[in-house]
Amino acid sequence: MKIVRLRTNHFKNPLGCNVSDLSLSWVVEETNAKKQESAQVIISNNDKFNLESIIYDSGKCKDADSRSFRPNIKLEPCTRYYWKVKVIGDNGDLAESDIATFETGKVNESWNGIWITPDLNKDVHPYMRKDFEVDGSIKSARVYATAAGIYEMEINGEKISEEYLLPGYSVYDCWMQYQTFDVTKYLKRGKNVIGAMLGKGWFSGRFGLGGLENTYGDRMALICELIITKEDGSKMIIATDESWKSHAGPISKSGIYDGEHYNANNEINDWSKETCDDSNWTGVKPIELKVGAMEERLSPPIIKHEYFKPKKIITPKGELVLDFGQNMAGWVEFEVNLPKDARVFMQYGELLQKGYFYRDNLRSAKAEYEYISNGKKSHVRPHFTYYGFRYVKVDGIENLNPDDFKAYAIHSHMDELGEIKTSDERVNRLILNAKWGQKGNFVDIPTDCPQRDERMGWTGDTQVFSGTASFFTDTTAFYNKYMKELREEQKLINGSVPVIIPRVRNQREVGTGHGSSAWGDVATILPWTTYLYFGDKSMLEKHYAAMKAWVDYIIREDEADGGKRLWQTGDHIADWLALDNPDKSDIFNGGTDQYYVATVYYYYSVKLAADTAEAIGKKDDAEYYRKIQKEVKEAFCNEYITPNGKISIDTQTAHVLALFMDLLPKEHINRVAEALKTKLVDKGIHLDTGFVGTPYICRVLSSVEANNFAYKLLINDDFPSWLYSINKGATTIWERWNSINTDGSVSSTGMNSMNHYAYGSVVEWIARDVCGLNPVFDKPGFKKALIKPQPFAYLKNANIKYKSASGTYVSSWELSEDEKVKYAFDVPFNCEAEIILPDAKLTDVVLKGDKPINIEERDGNVILKVEAGKFEAVYKPTQDYYPCLNINSSLKDVLENEEGIEILRKYIGASLDGFQNIPELRDMSFNKPLTANPIFGPLSLLNQEQIDALAIELSKCRVKI
């Protein structure tokens, strides 16, 4: 037995993070034990764990919860704690973990440091420093710091952290995150220097819709204190005060959107070293900032992750472009050795167009980097910006050697958990693109895109992708921080939720940009989703207030409109970018009625609030919200569903939402599912859903046993489809189905990002339905899983390996030549699963591996109840998983099928030459074209009997995959 992944509040050995609601977690591996006999958590003041130092000992607890163990202890400020866990399995196997640590921040301790700003022009990017002398030997030292803007801190010439873009992006005027660093190793006896470089960042730089500056203030400022503990126990404090000095630094301009200008001639090489003579430096001034209370950080660290080396391209225009092969968020670092004053100019972009460097889709974002050489050999990197890019155009370096350049993907760090693979390389690339969508858009806050002049925390994008993100990584800490931002904003607008969090300046000034359904519902969906996936109840407890405030806001809106239990007021973004707006010139708004979407989400959020209230023991609230939930459903059905079960809003998304959110009376589910299929058939089985319908369409289809439709949507590679972008070489998820036209040209420049993860939410369906791995709300964090794979022959195999909060699950399937399906599952220690083997007869199933504790055949499936173990099953399914032609097939599909052509020929006799080349055929099913359309002349002559016979024959034809 081995105990791994010890985390405190989902951080690895956090330093100065807010752990006031302490939650410890770990994972047990490599054991044959099935269940935990006991676990014992011990917390100590030192790493010796001797008797006097132990401040908490749970004793051997049978039900100690490895997903979130919450010891009830009082934590002291600025204190390091050590903890470990001992686990005993039901077979006697046991293990003791390594030691993990966490250290509290200043908590309520007052600050010695004050906010200071350089006594320089407000746009000058400063060096700031303070020298000091330490006598006696140093035992330990901590820096507590934050900045208005972005800061990088050094001590004695060394950057004190591997993090970038600190302090990250917050609703600064409501709360200010500060960071804690262990700087013991950078200090020495005698002379020392501490210093910082500052940039404008999100605080005062150009940012947000309209690209306004000075959202939170117009000056860069720093607050910091260095607390040195000496061996003799005495303390020394160096804090920001008026004795600090400042000097203009090498950065002349910086901005999140616009990039950075760096003049190495202005570098002061030893600016943070004792050797630097700062006698001619300018002073600093104290400054009153309009910022909120100082609080310990919640942000996971933004660090460098993957790196990529470029290929050099010379475009037809002679431009020198570096292709890093992957769209990402981050920056390029390089080595230079250029004459003094030589200028390197770089522009970042996502695309080439006809071989030329292209970046009109960045809109007003300059996304550039200028470097002026001081004639010395240097390693160059940006400091106070980041870019969304795959390509970089470089000017100013003759005989550029691509080996001198490296692109770093820079994003918030999270434990990576899930790997999903299928037999189709294009689908695998799609999954990878969604993962890269996450990496590129998890830069302290969940953003819409990392390249153009937005990069903002759009709430709708966040909520639709949260399930997928939680299959890829442990999102708890990241979303916990975002929920804090949400709550702060929400307090300013009476419980409503902005469409962008943190809100940007012009929205705040005008007081708009909040209260849109599907976007605002992030308030209920994020806490609920993270609890479901990771089982840490503190996510519900902490954020219940936000969930409740949002739901109560909707209820108030409804009450003000007569209490109809519908949401039919306000402005809602609704099915953003869907393709079904009857007004084809509107390329933004989908065709699904906004109040329909609003009412659906009203229902969904009230339901999640009721679920949550139940889970955290708020009985009265639970009853109240359940009652409203019921009333909304009734009102929704009366308003939008005919007594016979027809939905009055005739879009794919309207059907998908009613099914997914469980808004239909049982007796209508079938009819609505059939109507959805017909709508798909009408489009040649293609989707026209937007941000709201897309995340659920395949999940809904799988839930109504229409895997043939769901898989077809996945496997299509013509517009609009997921794989269309793969065929066009995408390495991230596009914002629009047609971000790139079929001829390779960019479809529009106004709003067209190549790295927008919303449509990547299809991965949640691949994980949950294709691979079959589902969390269960009653036993969240995969303490129990519902494993229900749904193979279909558009793929030959699929598997997921998921390092859940409770241990590693595997679920895989493979179709064999003899049309059997082979399944394999791993269920981790101390977990249980219900495995549903689809379309199976008990007598046909050959089981291998550990023994299920219960097997039964129900509703045409075989159901295994299992505890930890490895399981295999092989059988021939009772259903055919191979797609066949049918009456709903498009003419194109039939004409692509040799057997299909033969059959068709028999019926219509005529020559079929040339039919293949008629694009409209793609969306024409046999059901439809029996009209006077000349293309279908021969078909329209068939009578119903002939058509029925044709259909039967066609259904024997397997679609070639």
Residue number, 576 or 711, with CB nearest to ligand BGC: 576
Q: Does 521 bind ligand BGC (CB under 6 A)?
A: no
Report how far residue 780's alpha carbon sits from residue 470's, in angstroms, rounded to the nearest whole number.
13
Question: Toward ligand BGC, which CB reaches closer, 286 or 511?
Answer: 511
Residue 667 parent element (H or E) = helix 666-682
How is residue 717 written in tokens? 């590679």
- Is 557 a residue that touches ligand BGC (CB under 6 A)? no
Residue choice 350, 454, 832, 850 for contact with ligand BGC (CB under 6 A) = 454
Region of 860 (left: φ > 0; alpha: ψ -120 to 50; beta: rest) is: left
Our CB check for ligand BGC shows the closer of 77 and 210 to be 210
CB of 623 to ligand BGC, least distance (A): 34
Least distance in Å: CB of 447 to ligand BGC? 9
Query: Nearer to ligand BGC by C-beta: 220 or 733?
Result: 733
Contact between 65 and ligand BGC (CB under 6 A)?
A: no
Cα–Cα distance between 813 and 51 in angstroms, integer?
Answer: 51
Q: Which of 69, 465 has the CB closer to ligand BGC?
A: 465
Q: Does 576 bind ligand BGC (CB under 6 A)?
A: yes
Q: In the complex with ligand BGC, which residue's Cβ is closer, 217 or 457?
A: 457
By the rule CB under 6 A, 573 interacts with ligand BGC: yes
**Closest approach of Cβ 465 to ligand BGC, in Å?**
10
Q: Does 458 bind ligand BGC (CB under 6 A)?
A: yes
- Least separation in angstroms between residue 753's CB and ligand BGC is 7
Min dist CB 494 to ligand BGC, Å, is 22
Which residue number, 182 or 360, has a Cβ lying nearer to ligand BGC? 360
How far apart are CB 683 and ligand BGC at their closest, in Å? 24
Q: What is the DSSP string of 68-83?
A: -B----PPPTT-EEEE
Q: How far apart (Å, rounded) are the C-alpha atoms in residues 428 and 356?
A: 29
Chosen residue from 258, 448, 488, 593 binding ligand BGC by CB under 6 A: 448
In 3D, which of 185, 219, 201 has the Cα closest to residue 152?
201
CA distance 680 to 890: 11
Task: Please name the amino acid found at residue 790.
Answer: Q
Which C-beta is closer to ligand BGC: that of 416 or that of 586? 586
Give me the helices (H) in 442-537, please. Answer: 459-472, 476-492, 505-510, 522-534
CB–CB of 695/764 below 8 Å? Answer: yes
According to the binding rule CB under 6 A, does residue 453 interact with ligand BGC?
no
Which CB atom, from 25 or from 361, has the smaller least distance to ligand BGC?
361
- Cβ closest to ligand BGC, residue 505 vs residue 756: 756
Cα 348 to chain centroid, rounded: 23
Q: Does 260 bind ligand BGC (CB under 6 A)?
A: no
Q: Tell me which stretch binds ligand BGC (CB under 6 A): 108-116, 241-249, 458-466, 934-942.
A: 458-466
**Which amino acid type is present at position 633?**
K
Total of chain residues touching ligand BGC, rule CB under 6 A: 10
Per-residue exposure over 245-274, b if at least 16 CB sit within 10 Å of its own CB, e if not: bbbbbbbbbbbbbbbbbbbbebbbeebbbb
Comparing every residue's Cβ against ligand BGC, the nearest one is 448
Q: What residue has token string 């709360």?
A: 175
- CB of 524 or CB of 716, closer to ligand BGC: 524
Map 144-197 to HEC letters: EEEEECEEEEEECCEECCCCCCECCCCCCCCEEEEEEEECHHHCCCEEEEEEEE
CB 463 within 8 A of CB 486: no
Residues 363-392 that bind ligand BGC (CB under 6 A): none
CB 172 to ligand BGC: min, Å: 22
Q: Can you tell me which of 330, 460, 498, 852 binds ligand BGC, judged by CB under 6 A?
A: 460
Of 104-112, 137-145, 436-444, 453-461: span binding ligand BGC (CB under 6 A): 453-461
Sign (positive/negative) of CA torsion 647, 650, 655, 661? negative
Residue 555: strand, helix, or coil? helix
Cis peptide before 720 (omega within 30 of 0): yes
- 446 vs 852, which CB is nearer to ligand BGC? 446
Q: Which of 322, 392, 700, 751 binds ligand BGC (CB under 6 A)?
A: 751
Least distance to ligand BGC, CB of residue 227, Å: 43
Q: How far apart are CA 886 and CA 898, in angstroms?
A: 15
Q: Is 461 in the site for ligand BGC (CB under 6 A)?
A: yes
Separation between Cα atoms, residue 410 and residue 758, nearest integer Å: 20
Residues that bind ligand BGC (CB under 6 A): 448-449, 454, 458, 460-461, 573, 576, 751, 756
